[in-house]
Amino acid sequence: MAKKFVKAVFPGSFDPITNGHIDVVKRGVKLFDELIIAVGKSGVKDELFTQAERVEMIKELVADMPEVSVQSYECLTVEYAASVGATAMLRGLRNLTDVHYEFQLAMTNRAVAGIETIFVMTSEQYGFTSSTLIREVAKLGGNVGELLPESVYEKVKQRLCENHSS
Ligand code: ADP
């Protein structure tokens, strides 16, 4: 039987992308032939980076991974996944709270679009890493350098400086 070519989408807001997300991408690359990191609207009031900025910074980070590409999308995630011919969705799990939320999301996505979700467990050291908390801690002057790729951390510091001076 011919080997199946599996294209997957890793959707999220990635505001900003963290070491936890990168960990999920590295695990995903081992499972799929092609992986698209799909950057959605953040939908939060305290957005740190625009969608275009998030796409650019992620592209830089995955430049050396030929199976990985980065795109932005505006529509429903499952519609986007279908539009690029993806048959699977990749999501990361940190804890039981994620499991509850992601389980419901995955069941809904399968019911409405027939798409399967593949979960990977994060590395232990990233179990507490969340973009939302990173934005909050960074705004209050906390050091989030350990949780972010270096280039992203530099951009976060720069953005917070710009925001303070405007
Ligand atoms: P959302 O926009 O749905 O809140 P995010 O953009 O924060 O999601 O993250 C996208 C995906 O990455 C989700 O599946 C989320 O569970 C996962 N994720 C976020 N942070 C981590 C982490 N530290 N380790 C593993 N998975 C993570």
Q: Is 42 in the pocket of ligand 1 (CB under 6 A)?
A: no
Active site residues: 21, 45, 94, 131
CATH superfamily of 7-128: HUPs (3.40.50.620)
What integer is the mean pLDDT of 107-136? 95
Write the pLDDT tens digit of every residue in 45-59: 889 999 999 999 999
Q: Which strands make up the sheet holding 68-72, listed edge to edge?
A: 68-72, 34-39, 7-12, 88-93, 116-121
Q: Is 54 in the pocket of ligand 1 (CB under 6 A)?
A: no
Q: Is 91 in the pocket of ligand 1 (CB under 6 A)?
A: yes
Return the ligand 1 atom nearest residue 123 CA.
24
Question: Residue 87: pLDDT above 80?
Answer: yes
> Hey, what are 62's tokens?
């995955």
Question: Residue 36: pLDDT above 90?
Answer: yes
Every domain of the chain and the residues it spans: 7-128
Which stretches does DSSP call E strand in the chain? 7-12, 34-39, 68-72, 88-93, 116-121
- In this structure, how many other beta carbons lie within 10 angstroms of the beta carbon of residue 2? 4
Question: Residue 43: pLDDT above 90?
Answer: no
pTM: 0.94
Give the C-alpha separation, 84 to 34, whole Å: 11
